[in-house]
Structure 1
Amino acid sequence: MTESVPGPFFTTATPSDHIKEESTSNNYYIENLSEKEIHSFFEIDATSEWIKNGRHRRIALQFPDALLPYSERVTQLIENKINEKETTNTEKKTFVLADTSYRSCCVDEVAAAHADCTALVHFGEACHSAPTDKIDVKFVLGNMPAFIEEFRIELQKIIDQLSTDNIVLLMDSCFAHEQKKVAAAIKEVIPNRHIECACLPSETDLKENRKDVYLGRQIPATLRNNLPVDLIFCGFPNSPLLPVWLLSYPSCTTVNHYNPIEKTIQHERYVYYRSY
């Protein structure tokens, strides 16, 4: 079976391997977060603990445009946490990165180095297009609310419209913390199909299996082998990830898009016309 490789337009070796950034209507979903939601979405406690455990003194905080309005509050919360019980001589300092060298999904090691930072916290979608071995990096993808029960109900509406023996689950990164539960729900509702997840890569995956990572996801074997699959996508209605994914992996015969915010699912057959 021939392994599926993304076309030359979507390179896998340079920072141009990223999800196209657009001004979409998705931004309003993350506007006006409450104080509690800010703590959860930006993983304030876990991020602060990571900084303290690494004994970092100068830390870059990289925000995409959509999350930049929260940068001041996030910076305050993190600095308060990491400087608890610290003296003036050991005070830790953060630096906000916004106008990045590449796209916001790429880790901007260059800008962090200009501020003599030894660590960088990257908020939002990450493409993992290039190794980040020059600086310690923590990826904070965002945590949107749970939606499992509603997803299970909606999934039952499109079972009869699935056309292959294989299902691939793809999720926008801020919903990916629910991926194991979503996959379990799919197996429960559709028990007779082979299910694979396009998972967010671990540090080990990035070091040892980077060739199987594309658009910030581990590519399932069914797609690498160009087998027909039904794609179940959980994400924002205008997610920039989905169209790039479909262009890169045309063996997705149906697209079943669950919107976790509106709690709705949309089924479409996908036809890709390749020009030779």
Structure 2
Amino acid sequence: MSDAFSSSSETVLQRAVDVSVKTNTPLEKLEELYQIKKTCDFISERKFEKVALQFPDELLVDSVAVAGEIERTSNAKTFILGDTSYGSCCVDEVAAEHVGADCMVHYGSACLSPSTRLPLLYVFERRPLDCEKCADAFRELYPDTQSHIVILYDVNYVHAINDVLSLLSPEYPNLAVSELVVDGEQCYSDGWIRRRDKDTCLSEPDHKQVICQFGRQFSLKSALSVTDYSMFYVGQEGATLRNFMMTWNRCSFSSYDPTTLKGRTESVSVNRALMKRYYAIERAKDARVVGIMVGTLGVADYLTVIQQLKDTIGRAGKKCYMFAMGKLNVPKLANFLEIDIFVLIACPENSLLDSSEFYKPVVTPFEMEVACNKNREWSEEYVTDFRHLLPGGPSHVPLSDQQEEGDETDVSLITGALRSHNLMISEPAESSYGSSVVLRNQNMTVANSAASFLAERSWRGLEQKLGETPVVKAVKGRKGIAIAYEEEGTSS
């Protein structure tokens, strides 16, 4: 140990921290868990030379062994992608393009959001599922065998769902099971994902309604809607289940956790969650300066929704700024006090961010549209997939042609102050020809813009102050760490 550290410094540096570490998977099980042979066949058949392997943090411990086996079998050069810029469920095509990859292999949980740049192979974890106990939990939760139920699941349990269905379908004639589907001709999987065209989600020949959302597809019986069904989810509590519950918030949900081997009825907390989201919408209505945060560079049409948000926010008389900052945290967003509210563009599973710890709320593109588009009203519909908001999408609502005309006002439910839906209104203003009423310039609509907020700050960050700071001679600084510098000595 160097003499530059005091005894107290050594204690800090050598302090033990308990961290749970996943052990390496034995070599004989790598093939089963990571489907190495089928991955190599995928690479060899298409003659790919550079392959990007994207692992989530919890699977990085096996990444080197998997990459070595793939290189040995397929003769392709592999690049391991870890600590992705955004959510690990999304395909990080930008990182793959940085290394010049010809294709990608995505391991672990996936949101199945469409990506368009590179050929893509999904390899799921194949987590263990006790089908008998799952079926028993299902029977206990749904004693009425005539119930209309849809089985949803985490992608890592897709390999066992057919076994569960074989146990339940003889008893439950009205059971519907979702299958995994994905947009695009360049997406592949180990036989579990079916590629589809947009037209396949309209209806089947027998007039059954087909629901396609979040990479899942299932058929409803004729004359029934999705609200007539209950949802049974196989998987752990998390972003995927929360996304389903918020979207189909009028359906009753239950779940089975394969790790605890227990089923349960999900509570009505989704209603409270919706009220929290509505509060965020009210904050968005009060906001004058909006920060558009880019939370994905891989999901298709993210540039289109950015432009649509800019138009919607601008026509509502608000000013917007765009940010790209990777994974979000409280300190990052706290640097921008000028922003009244943030809108996050991300995949459906990552867009429902709990912003209770942030200094300013974070809303979804749908919530921002509810706040800014007079034609869109808050209703039982809740949209987490921003692609549905675009022209041609099932939830698209065009802006009103009179969006910039008139002065409709209401009262803010948060501040109690009078609020204008459209800040671009006519006001009396001084002119060289007298005190006639003139139209306010659009560039002056936001009185409390980020620039004026910055000018009012007492501290504005690092400033050069050329010629104002005296030149001083450099001196030797202190050694050690802030808790105990060497020259301070130790107390007796």
**Do they fold alike, i.e. is TM over 0.5?**
yes
Pair 1:129 & 2:113 matched:
yes
Work out which of the two has the higher radius of gyration on C-alpha atoms and give 1 or 2.
2
| Structure 1: segments with no counterpart, 5+ residues | 1-26, 84-91
Which residue does the alignment assign to 1:175?
157
Query: 1:69 Cα shift?
Result: 1.8
Matches within 5 A, 1:19-168: 33-83=25-75, 92-132=76-116, 134-160=117-143, 165-168=147-150
- Could you list the per-position Cα deviations for residues 15-61 of structure 1 after superposition, in whole angstroms to 9, with x for gaps in the alignment? xxxxxxxxxxxx98x75544333321211111111111111110000
- Matched with 1:205 is 196
Query: How far apart, in 2, do the equivalents of 1:195 and 1:142 lie?
Result: 26
1:216 equivalenced with 2:180 (yes/no): no
Q: Distance in 2 between matches of 1:58 and 1:207?
A: 31
Q: Work out which structure has the larger RCO, using CA pairs closer than 8 Å and 6 or more positions apart in sequence.
A: 1
Question: What displacement does 1:239 show?
Answer: 3.2
CA drift of 1:82 comes to 1.3
Distance in 2 of aligned mates of 1:145 and 1:70: 18
After superposition, the Cα gap between the structure-2 partners of 1:216 and 1:240, relative to the gap in structure 1 and judged at 3 Å, is same
Displacement of 1:240 in angstroms is 2.5
* Aligned pairs, number: 234
Q: Is the 8 A contact 1:166 1:228 kept in 2?
A: yes
Using the size of structure 1 for normalisation, the TM-score is 0.73
Higher helix content, 1 or 2: 1
| Residue pair 2:91, 2:115 contacting (<8 A) in 1 also | no
**1:71 CA drift (Å):** 1.1
Give the whole-Å Cα distance in 1 for the aligned partners of 2:102 and 2:228.
44
Shift of 1:209: 4.8
Structure 2's unaligned 5+ residue stretches are 1-19, 182-192, 203-210, 276-377, 379-492
Alpha carbons of 1:157 and 1:262: their partners in 2 closer, same or farther (altered >3 Å)?
Answer: same
Give the counterpart letter for 1:252 in structure 2. Answer: C
Aligned-partner Cα distance in 1 for 2:201–2:141: 34
| Offset, 1:122 | 0.7
Instruction: Return closer, same or farther for 1:118/1:33 CA change in 2, 3 Å cut-off.
Output: same
In the alignment, is the contact (CA less than 8 A) between 1:59 and 1:93 conserved in 2? yes
Aligned residue in 1 for 2:258:
260
The CA distance in 1 between the partners of 2:151 and 2:28, in whole Å, is 29
SS in 1 for 2:195: helix
Which secondary structure does the structure 2 equivalent of 1:72 belong to? helix
Contact 1:254 1:268 in 2 (8 A): yes
Q: Counterpart of 1:227?
A: 227
Give the TM-score, by structure 2 length: 0.43
Matched letter for residue 230 of structure 2: D
Contact 1:127 1:214 (C-alpha < 8 Å) held by counterparts: no
Checking the alignment, whether the CA contact within 8 Å between 2:24 and 2:61 is kept in structure 1 is no
Match among 157, 175, 178 for residue 195 of structure 1: 175
- Counterpart of 2:438 in structure 1 is none
Shift of residue 75 of structure 1? 1.0
When the two chains are superposed, the root-mean-square deviation of aligned CA atoms in Å is 2.9
**Structure 1 residues 114, 272: CA separation in 2 closer, same or farther (over 3 Å shift)?**
closer
Q: Using the alignment, how far apart are the partners of 2:201 and 2:83 within structure 1? A: 27
Distance 1:218 1:150 in 2: 25
| Distance change >3 Å, CA 228–CA 270, structure 1 → 2 | farther
167-176 vs 99-108, which moves further: 99-108
| 1:80-110 deviations in Å (ceiling 9; x for gaps) | 2213xxxxxxxx2000112334322222222
What is the percent sequence identity of the aligned residues?
26
